[in-house]
Structure 1
Amino acid sequence: MKDQRSTALITGASKGLGLAIAEALAKRGWRLIINSRHAQELRDAQRKLETFGEVVAISGDVRDEIHLFQFAELLEREQWSLELLINNASTLGASPQPALLDYATNALHNIYHTNVIAPLSLLQKVRPYLSTNATIINVSSDAAAEAYEGWGGYGASKAALDHWTAILAKEQPDWSVYAFDPGDMRTEMHQAAFPGQDISDRPLPEETAVPALLKLIQTHPESRRYTAQELLTPPTSPWKSEYFLTMLK
């Protein structure tokens, strides 16, 4: 008999934001399929997450097409429907990040393959197993929307990710499709972006990004790009607007 529990696939889930969201979902009863390039770190994450529920860990590089087929094969073998796909695996590129004109071409190929092509390739492979109202979340960055000196490789790749996410939302209106900007976080990748700097003032992923991401998953707003800040900021009541305050005078 087919299991009716909700299943989520999260890439880059051995640490940082990926692990934090995996733990939050596991505590809420989700079955998890997790990925990471680092086998030992992924196994450690799996052991931690298994205290909350069922977790399948498949180690590999998201640039490896054979590795991506493993997820589809698992879903077919277990007859699981995939309700949530979070493309979180990403690469910053070099640290410190070079100026655009100094970027090695092979490094740019790696960044674009990891951050732009691999998420779409994974989606193509698991498409037959996605539920009719599936949620797709591509983890983006403020560097996709703002031009920061030295962030040309990473930022441009995330901008490309945002754009194909928006196109996918048009092409698949039954799905909830989001680009999600978690904002600054105290993670290993963020530290690599600012080598030698103290980033202890940044929030941990579970403090802001995870609550915002959970809200996105639970409320299913319209498909588009969201930031953690806007998801966590309460809407302003129209009765408190300047117009209504004027009318009440």
Structure 2
Amino acid sequence: MTNTALITGASRGLGLALARSLAEAGWDLVLTARGRDDLDRVAAELGATAIAGDVTDPAHVERLSLAVPELDLLVNNASDLGVTPLPPLASYSLEAFKLLLETNVTAPLALVQATLPALRRRSGAVVNVTSDAATGAYPGWGGYGATKAALEQLSNVLAAEEPGLAVWWVDPGEMNTRMLADAVGEQEAAGATDPAKVAAALRDLVTSRPAGGRVSLQ
């Protein structure tokens, strides 16, 4: 029986690297991201199903859930950095923070809720991609870090409430991605880890299926 994974934010960065890694291992993939053109190119490369859209849109979440009547792996990778340059909390726009919470916390929970029946049928797994900013006090990273801390606690409780599933909240470490470049500059980001290396470690995690919990891949 072929395994099926649903990956958000799959058109670039870690999401793209993980999609490629799982495709090499023979997984069926349903991929989503906001950029239709980039996503379609990735889907054509990997023989995957592409469903472009915004994970904060309830109608899009419903479309994704209908595409996976049985699901082995949900990867909540889509994320937003928020305001850049990264501001201190004293001047962080509350409206911008609400939008960040919508993308980084509410949307992953909505997708978990929508796909739980499919995941339960296959005793599947959930990977929520988090960050060391969830636990570290890094100036400027308060808005983003707070959303990731909330996602970690949602994951922690989900693991307790759904013992039939494997739930991991995964800190991938610094990767050479557009998001990191937006935060720290292209020169510094260029020295970070290749997302493909992190994706390989994440595939090993999913394959070996250890007990759920917080996982740091670097």
Does TM, normalized by the shorter one, top 0.5?
Answer: yes
2:104 aligned with 1:110: no
Change in CA separation of 1:121 and 1:200 when aligned onto 2, cut-off 3 Å: same
Amino acid at match of 2:49: V
Residues 49-76 of structure 1: CA distance to partner in whole angstroms, max 9, x if unpaired? 12xxxx111011100000000012223x
The SS at the match of 2:80 is coil
Find 1:160's aligned residue among 128, 131, 150: 150
Amino acid at match of 2:65: A
Aligned to 1:198: 188
Q: Verify the 8 A CA contact 1:96 1:195 in the aligned structure 2.
A: no
Aligned to 2:110: 121
**Unmatched 5+ stretches in structure 1:** 230-249
Indicate the percent of aligned positions where both proteins have the same amino acid: 42
Aligned to 2:70: 81
Find 1:59's aligned residue among 52, 71, 80: 52
Q: Verify the 8 A CA contact 1:95 1:195 in the aligned structure 2.
A: no
- Number of residue equivalences: 217
Q: Verify the 8 A CA contact 2:65 2:114 in the aligned structure 1.
A: yes
Alignment map for 1:88-107 (pairs within 5 Å) = 88-107=77-96
Residue 195 of structure 1 deviates from its aligned partner by: 3.0
**Unmatched 5+ stretches in structure 2:** none
Q: CA RMSD in A?
A: 1.1
Q: Verify the 8 A CA contact 2:131 2:170 in the aligned structure 1.
A: yes
Q: Which protein, 1 or 2, shows the higher relative CO under an 8 Å CA cutoff with sep ≥ 6? A: 2
2:186 aligned with 1:183: no
TM-score computed with the length of structure 1 as normaliser? 0.84
Once residues 133 and 219 of structure 1 are traced to their aligned partners in structure 2, the CA distance between those partners, rounded to angstroms, is 14
The SS at the match of 2:123 is strand
Alignment map for 1:1-249 (pairs within 5 Å) = 4-50=1-47, 55-75=48-68, 80-130=69-119, 131-195=121-185, 197-207=187-197, 209-229=198-218
Structure with max Cα Rg = 1
Once residues 196 and 8 of structure 1 are traced to their aligned partners in structure 2, the CA distance between those partners, rounded to angstroms, is 31
Change in CA separation of 1:62 and 1:210 when aligned onto 2, cut-off 3 Å: same
